[in-house]
Each structure stands twice: as structure tokens, then as C-alpha cells.
Amino acid sequence: MFTENIKQYPSLKHHYNDVLNLINEYDEIIILRHIRPDPDAIGAQLGLKAILQYIFPNKSIAALGEEESSLNYLGRMDPVTTVDDPLVIVVDTAGAGRVDGDIAAGSKVIKIDHHPNNDPYGDINIVETGVSSTSELIFILANLWGFDNDYINDTSARLLFSGIVGDTGRFLFDNTSSMTHRIASELKKFDFDATKDMGLMNRQSISQFRFKGYLIDNFEITDKGVLGVWVPSSVLDEYGLNSNEASLSVNLYREMDEAEIWFMAVEEEDNIRVRLRSKKTVINDVAEAFGGGGHPLASGISLSSSEKIRDLTEALDRKL
Amino acid sequence: MFTENIKQYPSLKHHYNDVLNLINEYDEIIILRHIRPDPDAIGAQLGLKAILQYIFPNKSIAALGEEESSLNYLGRMDPVTTVDDPLVIVVDTAGAGRVDGDIAAGSKVIKIDHHPNNDPYGDINIVETGVSSTSELIFILANLWGFDNDYINDTSARLLFSGIVGDTGRFLFDNTSSMTHRIASELKKFDFDATKDMGLMNRQSISQFRFKGYLIDNFEITDKGVLGVWVPSSVLDEYGLNSNEASLSVNLYREMDEAEIWFMAVEEEDNIRVRLRSKKTVINDVAEAFGGGGHPLASGISLSSSEKIRDLTEALDRKL
């Protein structure tokens, strides 16, 4: 199905056979991904594991890393065991410093990712920025190895679908291409409950739900449309949430007509973590000026004091 | 593309050429849809108009009905003009009683719909319940008329995509099939800003946004998970919303883990309008017992007094 499209994916075109050859040489394979995993990291990691286990039932393949409990419904990590000289595959991780796990010196490493390839730390680097997600890229890779969906099964289909949903905001963001839907169509031919999984990905406890009430009652917005909300640690305590759980609600403001740029500033132990989002105005330059960074429309900053929030708001306002 | 799948769609298989033959006989065509239109009604109506105008540039084709201002971004209705003996095509409307517009006695009528065909009011009835939306059905129809996407252009692609997004809750509900994504993939090959349109479909004014705060602060939930919220007319006035605008927020509760069934009861002038939703428990039997009806997981009821809300809650609780 994808053979005719392979020119779109130069690193895949050059290396998809090399990857398979290298995997063939090893009996022990470890698959890693980035710290603080999101659905695409877990979907790509466990999806690739399911694909490889399906093709190579006799190889020992382990997915390692710290678990994120809200994503355990997708599948669990393997226990860490010491293996001499495994092949290491790292998915969805732009920089070696963000890998969740140790890579022994001298190990062969395959990097598979969709972020800009500023740190090509793999012996083979399959990096394509034109796909929505690493899960989408892994589907295409498996599709090139076999004939159509030969190497996909219900388990890997479910995992890759969840990864695509995670990184596209359920087909909302403009990284969603015609190809993304084409792949979703192929994955949906397998037997899994996509509606249930998407519900699980978005599910919230009553505490998280009531916290949204706080966010609705306490934001400020400038005339031009820069919206900010301040979440002191006392509020986190009141709703029984940690900073990560609170941050899941940052996209609440996306649907408000008047909000062009918005951020949530959460007081953590020794700094203030700011999640910054924008509908269409590039904001990662402002994030960088404040010591943070990220994507053009979705960035993060750590501030040393709440007084800098006003400066940030003003800097963002000047962008509109 | 769909010729190999046509067996799935018996009414299409039998009638897709009849529809084209009938259209060919007429110079004047009117396209209607149901009252209180949603994105699928408008997307199918204006999408079909764009397709027919593209195939038949010399025919006079009018889309008629009352406008819903929140959907005007998709396109506008045509002014009503008196035409002798037009062909009438009605989309997305299960029963003749819900057609928004008059059908002159003796007119030839084509019905194109995806709801159960309890009222086959057309001279030709193209009714398929296995598709997500009437917009999906119209794409398949146009695809059968031509070769692949020959008869689709940027305008109709955008409209049909919006209709599919509307009726699937943006690919969330389980009416979303492999075919739905396949069609989305074809439509995304055309030039339109899907991300922007999906934003417009979900956009809210600050009033609607703040009203969500009311909904979060004022619901009640039973131990088993029946959630209800009461919206008196004074609250509508406070937030400057009408009953229809308020009802757009009913799906807010879907993401709450603990809510299995939920409803919003809004006080209108002479009755109480209840929107009832469920994650997986069938609830239209309860809706019918209270004089309402609808889909298994999404129904509506008009109650004569607020005292019946307690009875309704109890009846729903017995379902869990």
C-alpha cells in the first residue's frame, strides 16, 4: 500500500531494510521511549514490540521505562533484566538526554522518531517529520516490511491507533494528513474498541472535572486575547491533583473564541511550570526568551517567580 | 474506489443510477434537510449542491431552509423562489414531518438518509444505516457516479468532511468505521482548512465558556452514576444563552469517569427540555416512558414540570 508513497519518507526509504537486517542479528531487543510518556510514546513503544514479537516469536523483546499510571490501560512495561549486548530501539525521543532508560556503552541503537533530528544518536536514524506521530511512522515501517497489513494484529493496531489519536488531538491538529486518516482506516479493520480507548484517554476523575470549574472561574484575558490562569499549590491540594494531572486541562481554553494564546502557570515545589498554547501565532520564540522552548504552537517554560508571569503576558500580547 | 464495496450498501446499489437519471430530467432542483440543522444536515445539503453544480453547471440548484447562525461559516441557504415542478432532494431527514420546507403536491422526491427508514417518503429512497452520516453516504454516491474523486472539489470536500466530523463527534463515536476514515483520507486530499473548521464547529463565546463553570458547580450524581443538572431560565438569562446554545454543552459530562448516564434539564417557556446521554446503557426506552425518544445512547424528553426530574433520575438509576 505504501510502496508508491515511499519517496515522501527519505530516511525510511534508505533504511527500512537496514533496520530489519539489524533486528535479525539480535536475539535480545530492548525498546525505549522518552521520559514522562504520552500516548504516542507508549503506543509506538508497545505497538512496535507487538509487531516485532509477531514477526519474531522467538526473540526476547522488552519494553522498558517508568510507567505513567493513566496510560496503563494501553499495556504495561516489562521488568528490567540484565542482558548482555541487546539491540536498543528508541522511539519518539528527539534527544538522547530524554531517553527513559540506560543505554550501555557500545550498544547498537536504532532511533525512530518524528521530531526534528537535531540529535541523531542512533546507529540508524529513521526520522520523518512529515508524519503525525511515531505511531504513524511505525505503521508505515511495518507496512514496508510486509505486504499491506501482514505484520499488524489487533494488539498493535490498537496501540498505534491510540498513539495517532494522542499526537493529533484526535485528528484535530494540522499534523493530521490524508495519510493519517488512511492509516487510521487500515488500523480500524482490526478488532479493538477505539471509542472505549479514546474515552479512557480523555477520562477524568471528579476532582479533575471540578478543577475545570476553577480554571473557568479564575482566568484573565487581555483585550487582544492572551489568556492566563494561575494555579497556586494550595489549589492543587484543594482538588487533590498533582501538577501533571492539572496540566492535562490546559486545552480547555482552546474552544474559547476570544483566546488566541493561553497558558496555565502551576506552582511547583521550587519553580513555576508554565504550559503555553496558541491557536495560530508562533509562540516558541517567546518561550525561548523566557528560558523554555517547544513547538511553534505548544511550548513550556519554567519560571523562578510568579512575578515573571506579568512579563510573559506582556511579551505574548506584543505578538498579537 | 467503492465499486468493490457496493454490496454493503443495498439501496445505493439498486438506485444510484436511478438518482442520476432523475436528476438529468430536471432543470430545477431543490435540496432540503431537517429542521434545527446540525453540521451533517448542512454539510450533506450544501455538499450535494456543490457536487451537482459541478457536474451540471447549467442546472438551477437551490439549498433551502432556515439558517442556523452558528453554522453559517459552512455556507448560506439560497433565497426561496417559486419554481414550477422542481425535483426535490431531501437529505438527512428520517420523517417527512421534520423536513424544513414545503414539498409541493405531486413533486418527485429523492430521500437520502442514514437513519432507520421508517418513513420512506421518497419516490427513490437511498437509505443506509451503516454509514456514519449522510455526508459519508453522499461521498460514496458521488464516488459511484464518477471515477474515484472526479466529482468532488475543494468546496464539497470541506462540507462533507464537516458533516462527518459533526455526526461522529470528530471520529469518537462508534459509528466511525474504517470506511469513515478512508473517506476522510480522500476528502483531506482537497484544499481546505480542516483544523480551522473543526475549531469553528466547537467554538464558544466567553458566555458559553463561563456557563460550563455553572454546569461543573451544580450537577448532582447518584452512587451508581446517573448525573443530572438543572438549568432554570434565570441561569440562561444570567449567561445570556438560549436553550439551544446551552444544550451544546451537554457532552461536557462524557469525560467524567463516574458519569454513566447524564442529562441536562433546561427550563423553557412552557416545558422543561431534557437532553439525555449515556456511555453504554440503553436509555431511549426510559426516554419513551417519559414521552420522549431518540437514539439508544442519546435521547430527548419534554417534561411538563420540574418535579418529574426526580422520577426520571430514579428510572435511570434502575437501569444501572
From chain B, pick out residues whose CB is under 8 angstroms from the CB of A185.
178-182, 184-185
- A41 versus A269: which is more confidently predicted? A41
Burial readout B174-209 (b: 16 or more C-beta within 10 A, e: otherwise): ebbbebbbbbbbbbbebebebbebbbbbebbebebb
Residue B95 has pLDDT above 70, yes or no: yes
From chain A, pick out residues whose CB is under 8 angstroms from the CB of B217.
210, 213
Residue B167 has pLDDT above 90, yes or no: yes
C-alpha distance from A184 to closest chain B C-alpha (Å): 6
Using one digit for the tens of pLDDT, what is the confidence trace for B247-256?
888 989 988 8
B125 sits in which H/E element: strand B124-127
Delimit the domains of chain A by residue range: 3-200, 206-317
What pLDDT sits at residue A63? 98
Test B257 with A195 for CB contact under 8 angstroms. Answer: no
Using one digit for the tens of pLDDT, what is the confidence trace for A140-183?
999 999 888 999 999 999 999 999 999 999 999 889 999 999 99
Test A213 with B209 for CB contact under 8 angstroms. Answer: no
Residue A220 has pLDDT above 80, yes or no: yes
pTM of the model: 0.87
**Of B170, B202, B212, Cβ closest to residue A171:** B170
pLDDT, mean of residues A39-68? 97
**Separation of alpha carbons A127 and B102, rounded Å:** 58
Test A185 with B181 for CB contact under 8 angstroms. Answer: yes
Residue B78 has pLDDT above 90, yes or no: yes
Test B184 with A181 for CB contact under 8 angstroms. Answer: yes
Decide if domain B3-200 falls under CATH 3.40.50.2000. Answer: no
pLDDT, mean of residues A303-317? 94
What pLDDT sits at residue A262? 97
Using one digit for the tens of pLDDT, what is the confidence trace for A114-127?
998 989 999 999 99
Test A195 with B181 for CB contact under 8 angstroms. Answer: no
What pLDDT sits at residue B1? 65
Calculate Rg over the CA atoms of chain B.
21
Task: Identify whether the C-beta of residue A175 lies closer than 8 Å to the C-beta of residue B179.
Answer: no
Which chain B residues have any C-beta within 8 angstroms of a chain A C-beta? 170-174, 176-182, 184-186, 188-189, 193-195, 198-199, 202-206, 209-210, 212-213, 216-217, 221, 254-258, 279
Q: Residue B219: which pLDDT band, with cuts at 50, 70 and 90?
A: very high
What pLDDT sits at residue B218? 94
Test B256 with A204 for CB contact under 8 angstroms. Answer: yes
Picking from A21-30, A204-213, B27-36, B261-270, which range would have the lowest pLDDT averaged per residue? A204-213
Looking at B179-251, which runs of residues are DSSP E strands? 220-221, 226-231
Q: Residue A56: which pLDDT band, with cuts at 50, 70 and 90?
A: very high
Question: What integer best gives the mean pLDDT of chain B?
Answer: 93
Residue A298 has pLDDT above 90, yes or no: no
**Of A178, A202, A279, Cβ closest to residue B188:** A178
Nearest residue on chain B to A175, alpha-carbon basis: B195
Residue B4 has pLDDT above 80, yes or no: no
Residue A1 has pLDDT above 80, yes or no: no
Between helices A134-145 and A178-187, what is the axis angle to 10°? 70
Proportion of chain B above pLDDT 70, given as a percent: 99
Proportion of chain B above pLDDT 90, given as a percent: 78
Using one digit for the tens of pLDDT, what is the confidence trace for B96-143?
999 999 998 889 999 999 998 989 999 999 999 999 999 999 999 999
C-alpha distance from B235 to closest chain A C-alpha (Å): 16
**Separation of alpha carbons A49 and A31, rounded Å:** 7
3-state secondary structure of A100: coil
**Of B181, B206, B258, Cβ closest to residue A206:** B258
Task: List beta partners, residue A91.
Answer: A112
What pLDDT sits at residue B121? 97
From chain A, pick out residues whose CB is under 8 angstroms from the CB of B262.
none
Residue B188 has pLDDT above 90, yes or no: yes
Residue B205 has pLDDT above 90, yes or no: no
Query: A213: which 3 cell numbers?
Result: 470549574
What pLDDT sits at residue A36? 85
**Separation of alpha carbons A300 and A291, rounded Å:** 9
Assign a CATH topology to domain A206-317: Diaminopimelate Epimerase; Chain A, domain 1 (3.10.310)
**Of A178, A188, A256, Cβ closest to residue B204:** A256
Between helices A154-168 and A194-202, what is the axis angle to 10°? 40
- Amino acid letter, B191: D
Residue B186 has pLDDT above 80, yes or no: yes
What pLDDT sits at residue A221? 95
B110 sits in which H/E element: strand B109-113
**Of B185, B216, B217, Cβ closest to residue A178:** B185
Instruction: List CB contacts of B280: < 8 A, sequence separation 6 or more.
Output: B260, B297
